[in-house]
Chains A and B, each alone.
Chain A
Amino acid sequence: MSARERLAGGTANFIDERTGAAKWMKKTLTKVFPDHWSFMLGEIVMYSFVILLLSGTFLTFWFDPSMKEVEYEGSYEPLSGVKMSAAYASTLNISFDVRGGLLMRQIHHWAALIFMAAMVIHMMRVFFTGAFRKPRELNWIIGVALLTLGIVEGFLGYSLPDDLLSGTGIRIAEAIIQAIPVVGSYLAYFVFGGAFPGEVFIQRIYTVHILLIPGIMLALITAHLMLVWYQKHTQYPGPGRTEKNVVGYPLMPVYMAKAGGFFFIVFGVTAFLGAVASINPIWIFGPYNPGQIGAGSQPDWYMGWLDGLVRLAPPIETHAFGYTISWNILIPGLIVPGIIFTLLAFYPFIEQWMTGDKREHHILDRPRNNPNRTAIGAMSLTFTLVALINGGNDLIATHFDLSINQIMWFSRIGIIILPPLAFVITKRICLSLQRADRELVLHGRETGRLVMLPHGEFIEVHEPLSPQKAYLLTHHEQNPPLALTNEDAQGVANPQGIKGRVRSRMSRAAQEQITKPTAKEVLEIEEGHH
C-alpha cells in the first residue's frame, strides 16, 4: 500500500468511524440516473441559482439599500452632482469603482434571466413528457411555487438599483396593488410605508430579496431534489426500461463528472455573457424620480407577459359606493395570473380527473402519444407568447415600422383566437404523427430505392424496423375513455349530473388516439408481404 493510499484510506476510515457514512455513501454513490440532455435542464436552473447566490453575496458587500438622498460624486462624470438615492449611487459605485463590480452585476443579472428561462424549459420538458404524474405531483407543485417565487424575486432584484427604469416597474406594481378592491389603497400604503415612493421600500424589498425569498427557494429546491432522489428519476421509454427499474449511469463517477463539469460550463456561459454583453446599464437610465418616465420601459422577460396582459386590457372602470374598481388592471394584473398559476399547479390532478388514471408512472410519454396534453401545453404557451409579444409592443412598433395600436389589436384578438387554434393544430399534428408511427411499424422504413420486378412493376423497397425502434413506437398503452354510466341501477338517467357529462366529454378528448398496430397486424403484414 502506497503512502497516498494509506492517507486516503485513513481519512475515509476516520470519517466512517465517526459518522457511519460508508454504508450510506456506498448506496448513494452507485445510485443510477438515466442519461438524456433534457434531464440536464433542471441542472441549469440549479447551477444558475448557485451562481446567483455567489454573485449576489458579492454585490451585498457594496450595495447600500437606502433611499437616503445623496449627491453623486463617483467617477461616472455625466451624473456628477445629480441628487439620487444611496441605493442608486452605490449601484453606480459597484459598476464603476468596485474592481470587478460591473462584471459581477452583469453575471448576476444574466444568471437571473437564464435561471428563469431554464426553469420554464425544464417545466416544459416535465409537462410534455408527463413526468408530473403520480407519484410526482407534489414535486410539480413545488416547481410551480419556485417559478412564482422566481418571478417575484427577479422583479425585486430588478427594482433594487432604484434607477428610472426599475422605479417605473415599482410604480406599476403599486398600481396593481391599488387595483385590489376596497383594501388596495390601504395595502399600498402599508407596503410603501406611506404615499409612493416613500422612503422605505428599497430597504424592505432588499431584505425580502436577499433573505426571505432565497431562503424559501433554497428550502424548496432541497425538497425538490430530495423527492427526485427518493422517487427516483423518470426515464424515456426503451427496450429494457420498465416502471420498476432505472436504466442509466451510476452517480459516481459518471454523473459526478458530468454534473460537476456542467456546473462550470453554466458558470462559464453566464460569465461570458456578463463579460461581453451589457445588461441593465442603469447609468444611462438615470436615478428614479417619480416625475420622470421613459418610452419603451420594459420589465425583464419573465414579467414581460404579465406587463403585456396589462397593456392589452381595454380601459374599463366601475365606480361604486365611493370606490373605483379598475378592471383594466385588476383582471390582467391579478385575476388572470391567479387563474393561470392555480391551473398550472393543479394540472396533475386535473389530468387524473380527466383520464381516471391514478396509477404510478415512471416511464415518460412521447408527447405525440398524449395529444390532448401536448395540445393543452401548446395552447398555454401560445397564450403566454402573445402576451409576451404585446409586452414589447412599443419596441416592435418602432423597430418594424408598425403601428402600436395595430399590434395591440392583434394581441387582443390573438390572445382569444390563437390559443384554441394552437390546441386544435397541435392535436391534429400529434394524431398525424401517430398515424405515421403506425405506418412505419406496419410497413417499415421507406428506403427511396425503387426496384423493377420481372413483370415490369415498380416497387419501393421498405426496410423492416429494428426491434428496438418497433418497441419504442408501440410500447405505450392506449386506454379507452372513462365509461361513465348513463343510468344507475334504479334507472335514474345521468346519475352524475352535469359534472359527469363534462368529465365524460373531457375523458373522450383526453384519450383520443390513433389505434396503434397490434402484434397480430404486424405478423399478418410480414407474412403477406416480403
Chain B
Amino acid sequence: MNPISRIIARLSRYRRHKFAGPALLIAGLSIAGIGFSVAQAATTEIQKVTTSDKASLIAEGKEIFARGCSSCHGLNAEGAGAAPSLIGVGAASVDFQVATGRMPMADMSQQAMRKEPVYNEAEVAALAAYVASLAPGPAAVTNEELAWERSGDTALGGELFRTNCAMCHNLAGQGGALTQGKYAPTVMGVEPRHIYEAMVTGPQAMPVFANTVLTHDEKLSIIKWIKHAENEPALGGAALGRVGPVTEGLLAWTLGLGLLIGIAVWLTTKAR
C-alpha cells in the first residue's frame, strides 16, 4: 500500500464521524474562497501610464484627456450623453474625481466609486491644468494650503457636519444609502483636499457648499472634525463599523446569545 492510499484509508475511517460533513463543507468552501481570491488578485493589473517630459502641462493634459477621457466627455470636453461637459468645472473637480480614482469610471454603474487612481499625481495635475484652461472654475488645493489643523475648530466642525453632512453621510461619517443604488460614501480616510474639493464642486449627487453657505473656515472645521473622528481610538472597545444598532444587535444575537446557549448546552450535558 503506498503512502497516499494509506492516508486516504486512515481518513476514510472518519467518514461517518458526526463532524465529517461540516468539516468537508468548511474545507470545500475554504478551497473555493481562497482559490477565487488568488485568481482575482492575479487578474488585477493597475494600468500605468508613463509620464513624458513636461514641456507644457496643458498640452500634456490635453493629450491625456484625448486618450483617456474624450471617448465619453468629447474631444473638446464638451460632454456627450451621460458624460457631462467639463468646461468650467475647474481644476478642483478634476483633482477630486481623478485623484480619488472615481474617474475614469470602471463601468457605467449608478455612481462613480472611489478606487485606486488610474493616473498619478503629475498626470492629474496636467489634466486639471488642461480642464482649468478651458474656462475658469474652482481651483484645486493642496493639503498644505488648507492648513485645517491650525484654522479649524473641532467642536464647531462637528455641529456643522451634523447639520449639513450627516443626513447623507451618517452621524459618524460612515456613509449612507441614497435612492436607486446611489450612495453617499464614507468620509473616513479621505484626503483633506478632496473633502474640501467635494464641498466646493458638489460631485455626483452632492450639493455645492458655496462660501455663502459654509465659509472657508467652516469647511476647514468640518475637515478637522472628520479627521478627529477618523483618528479617534475606539473608546468603548471594538467599534463594530460605527454603524449603530444593526451590528450591535447582530453581535448580541451571535456572540452574546451564542456563547450563552453554548454554555447552557455544556452545563446540561450528562457526564459520560
Contacts and interface: CB of A to CB of B under 8 A. Distances in A.
B257 A403 contact: no
Contacts of B234: 278
Nearest to B182: A403
A165 B255 CA distance: 24
A56 interface: no
Nearest to B257: A117
A281 to B, nearest CB: 6
Given A81-B155, A280-B248, A273 B167 contact: no
A277 interface: yes
A397 B182 CA distance: 9
Interface string B155-190: 100110011001111111011111111011000000
Contacts of A351: none
A44 B249 contact: no
Interface string A282-308: 011110010111111111110010000
Contacts of A106: 236-237
Interface string B240-272: 101111101111110111011101110110000
Interface in B75-100: none
B174 A296 contact: yes
B178 to A, nearest CB: 8
| Most chain B CB neighbours (cut-off 10 Å) among A114, A164, A291 | A114
B235 A283 contact: yes
Contacts of A304: 245-246, 249
A82 B154 CA distance: 10
Given A276-B237, A284-B172, A40 B229 contact: no
A101 to B, nearest CB: 11
Contact of A295 (B166, B239, B249): B166
B44 to A, nearest CB: 18
Interface in A126-180: 164-165
Contacts of B255: 273
A295 B257 contact: no
Contacts of B236: 95, 102, 106, 277-279, 281
A392 interface: yes
Contact of A40 (B238, B256, B267): B267
B130 to A, nearest CB: 33
B16 interface: yes
A278 B179 contact: no
Nearest to B224: A78
Contact of B180 (A266, A293, A405): A405
Interface stretch (A193-201, A257-265, A456-464, A507-515): A257-265
A299 B171 CA distance: 14
Contact of B170 (A109, A118, A295, A401): A295
A404 B166 contact: no
Interface string B103-136: 0000000100000000000000000000000000
Given A280-B248, A296-B174, A113 B256 contact: yes
A286 B16 contact: no
Given A284-B229, A284-B242, A292-B166, A279 B260 contact: no
B225 interface: yes
B171 A269 contact: no
Nearest to A402: B181
Given A36-B268, A392-B246, A404 B162 contact: no
Interface string A375-397: 00000000000000000111101
A78 B163 contact: no
Contacts of A280: 244-245, 248
Nearest to A44: B260
B228 interface: yes
B156 to A, nearest CB: 8
A460 B125 CA distance: 78
B235 A78 contact: no
B-side binding surface: helix, strand, loop or mixed? helix
| Most chain A CB neighbours (cut-off 10 Å) among B166, B175, B242 | B166
A397 B155 contact: no
Nearest to A113: B252
A37 interface: yes
Given A44-B264, A281-B235, A296 B177 contact: yes
A448 B178 CA distance: 57
Contacts of A301: 245-246, 248-250, 252-253
B171 A294 contact: yes
Given A278-B239, A292-B166, A393 B249 contact: no
A-side binding surface: helix, strand, loop or mixed? helix
B158 A286 contact: yes
A286 B261 CA distance: 36
| Most chain B CB neighbours (cut-off 10 Å) among A38, A77, A78, A262 | A78
A295 B184 CA distance: 9
Contacts of A395: 177, 243, 246
A275 interface: yes
A35 interface: yes
A98 interface: no
Contact of A114 (B155, B159, B260, B265): B260
A412 to B, nearest CB: 16
A109 B240 CA distance: 15
Contact of B159 (A82, A102, A274): A82
Given A37-B261, A278-B238, A398 B183 contact: yes
Interface string B16-46: 1000000000000000000000000000000
A297 B239 CA distance: 16
Contacts of A292: 162-163, 166-167
B158 A82 contact: yes
A266 B162 CA distance: 38
A11 B166 CA distance: 65
A304 B242 CA distance: 17
Contacts of B181: 397, 401-406
B171 A164 contact: yes
A284 B229 CA distance: 8
Contacts of B251: 273, 277
A299 B245 contact: yes
Contacts of A283: 235
Contacts of B16: 448
Nearest to A395: B246
Give 10 closest A-B pairs by Cβ, nearest first. Answer: A295-B176, A301-B249, A278-B236, A294-B171, A403-B181, A113-B252, A397-B177, A40-B264, A394-B177, A37-B265
Given A109-B248, A395-B243, 20 more contacts: A78-B225, A79-B155, A113-B256, A265-B260, A269-B256, A276-B237, A277-B240, A278-B234, A281-B172, A286-B162, A293-B167, A294-B170, A295-B175, A296-B177, A298-B245, A299-B245, A300-B249, A301-B250, A301-B252, A393-B177
30 contacts: A77-B154, A82-B155, A113-B256, A164-B162, A164-B171, A165-B171, A165-B244, A269-B260, A273-B252, A273-B255, A277-B248, A278-B240, A281-B236, A284-B242, A285-B171, A292-B166, A293-B167, A295-B167, A295-B170, A295-B177, A295-B184, A296-B176, A296-B177, A298-B243, A298-B246, A301-B249, A301-B253, A394-B176, A397-B181, A404-B181
